[in-house]
Amino acid sequence: MKKVLVCVLLLSIVVGSISAVGFVGGNVFVGNDSFEEDNRETSIDQLGLVLSGAHYVGETAGIGLGYTIGVGFASASYTSGIFEWDVETDPVSFNASVAAQYMVGLNETAYIEFGVGLGYLGVTSTYSLLGEEYVALLNIIKFEMKAGGIITISKSLNIGAGAVFSFPLAVTGTFDSSSESSPPDLSFDSGFGIKGYLGTYLKY
């Protein structure tokens, strides 16, 4: 988690120092990430808030670097065989991403942007099954594809919205109880994620 944060900050500083157009602000998002491993399916719903920005090289928007970092309130559910259960408490999740982006100006007040990159989701949750308490620690590295738009409201204020589609590349973590523990690296079969966001940005 700390390494992801440091990388996002360093990349934004380096690219920001050579770019002429940029956006920075905050997003509210809702989303779902799910994956299957062995005979268990995990589904994580999120509502969260992230710091979001993008830096573009050149005098007009074009090729650049986008990033997000923030937290969410997640509700996780697990399905194993005939059993399906929800976590007893809503866990707090950590989200971060970095992406290569391309922005196209439709006119002086409207832009569309596309991006591909990597995302991270970290979740800790506690639940009970058949009288036994489990602690789930999950770290998900994802390949992400983003599509969105930005509309200029005033000289510096902008409103943006869009969607992010993702596929898990690696899932690490553990499902621990008093009697058993899963291996650190989970062997997942498939997975998919989708996230919608709405935010406000300052242009500089």
β-bridge pairing 40-56 and 83-86: unpaired
Residue 91: Cβ within 10 Å count: 21
How many Å apart are CA 91 and CA 88, to the nearest integer?
Answer: 9
Q: Which CATH architecture has domain 2-203?
A: Beta Barrel (2.40)
- What's the pTM value of the predicted model, to 2 decimals? 0.79
Sorted by where each begins, the domain ranges of the chain are 2-203
What digits encode the pLDDT tens for the residues 164-204? Answer: 999 999 888 776 666 666 655 666 668 899 999 999 999 88
Which residue shows structure tokens 């994580």? 44
Cβ pair 94, 1 in contact under 8 A: yes
> Tens-digit pLDDT profile for the chain (204 aa)?
555 545 554 555 554 455 467 889 999 999 999 888 777 788 889 999 999 999 888 666 689 999 999 999 888 777 766 666 666 556 789 999 999 999 988 888 898 999 999 999 998 877 666 677 777 778 899 999 999 999 999 877 999 999 999 999 988 877 666 666 665 566 666 889 999 999 999 988
User: Which element (helix H / strand E) includes 66?
Assistant: strand 63-80
- Dig out the tokens for 14 from the structure: 């380096």
